[in-house]
Amino acid sequence: MFAIKRFAAGFGAPGPKSGRGFLKGLFVIFAALVFAQIGIMNYPVDKENSGLSSTAIAVELSETEMEREIYINSYYKKYVSSMNEAENAETEEERNRLLDQANSYLNSGIEKDDTPERTGDNILSYFIATGIICEIRPDSGDLTEKVYNSGWPGLVFVHDSMLHGTTGFSKRSAIVFKNLSLYFGEKYPGIINFFVYDTSKADDYVFRGKFWPKFGIEIRKEIRKKRWDMDGVPKILMYSPFDVMEKETPFENDGIVKLIDCAPIDVWEGCPRRTPGVTHVKRSIDTFTVRWIKPNFYLGLSPKGYIYRFDNGGQAKIVGKCKY
């Protein structure tokens, strides 16, 4: 019989070591057989206990602002929908048509998002207001409560709205992040939590010059513990109660959420760059989705089954092969 160690808050379980019963054992065996056949782990989800339902910070938008954000984000929804359809296309011709359609929708969304008057906060506001992305207030205990105590996989977008909020690469980083939240929210609902952390709201925030944004105290301590030489933003931090590099799975892990990687959005494959371009943004979305998030969160294989992590230079490196 398998020794089942679950997420602290997942599957309705009270703790990581609870539930070694017969029925639960049968369930794990069945799930393992299924995922062995299809190469993907669509593990069960308790949406109400995923860590977001009761903790999102409300962002108030006027009726006009809400209409504008819905209009802009409708293009991203169509982009995600077309990409999903392309994955299931029966012919190469149909697949290429859907990919061209998806690129057109993404380009329209970027053109309307990446304008001089827009900021990173504007770009993410609708997703925060509707609870798709949850805001973390620096140095307030939110990081512990919403990320660590959730017992759930999560991605935290760390940015500096005071310093880089209006620059092109920072805004396009926000566009990349909200498209990731939209894609995984629709395709794998309830499995990953998405958060935004504005370092300019940290207690120790100091304006350090144009190219020197810093993490808040709590995240900076985490980065130093890992001996990662990274302190600039924007970045995405990856948290999970299981680490595939430690041979853990969603079903067998220590139940403790930990920081497992830190990704500089504007470095991977040279995008998104300062110069606007749908190709750069799309490449970032694709590479983060396929090479980084899916294999690390047990949602599918990366090319050739590799697991990617970032090194101190901010470059994505192959660190192992998927065992599933």
Among 27-31, 292-296, 303-307, where is mean pLDDT lowest? 27-31
Which domains does the chain show, CATH number per domain?
49-321 (3.40.30.10)
Task: Find the mean pLDDT for residues 131-155.
Answer: 90
Q: b/e per residue, 272-295, with b = 16+ CB within 10 A?
A: beeebbbebbbbbbebbbebbbbb
- Per-residue model confidence (pLDDT) at position 82: 95
Distance CA 323, CA 187 (A): 23
Task: Find the mean pLDDT for residues 208-215.
Answer: 49
- Per-residue model confidence (pLDDT) at position 293: 95
pTM across the whole model:
0.78
* Per-residue tokens: 317: 């490196």
Q: What is the pLDDT of residues 35-86, one digit of tens each?
A: 333 334 444 444 344 444 334 444 677 888 889 999 999 999 999 999 999 9
Q: Which of 1-5, 27-31, 251-255 has the highest mean pLDDT?
A: 251-255
- Sheet of 235-240: strands edge to edge? 134-136, 193-198, 154-159, 235-240, 258-264
**Cis before 272 (ω within 30):** yes
Q: Specify the residue for token string 């929804």.
A: 77
- Per-residue model confidence (pLDDT) at position 41: 42
* Per-residue tokens: 158: 């760390």
- Per-residue model confidence (pLDDT) at position 89: 94
- Per-residue model confidence (pLDDT) at position 208: 53
Residue 253 reports pLDDT greater than 70? yes
Task: Find the mean pLDDT for residues 132-140.
Answer: 88
SS3 state at 261: strand
Q: b/e per residue, 59-81, with b = 16+ CB within 10 A?
A: bebeeeeeebbeebbebbebbbb
Q: What is the pLDDT of residues 35-44, one digit of tens each?
A: 333 334 444 4
Q: Higher-confidence residue: 320 or 204?
A: 320
- Per-residue model confidence (pLDDT) at position 77: 94
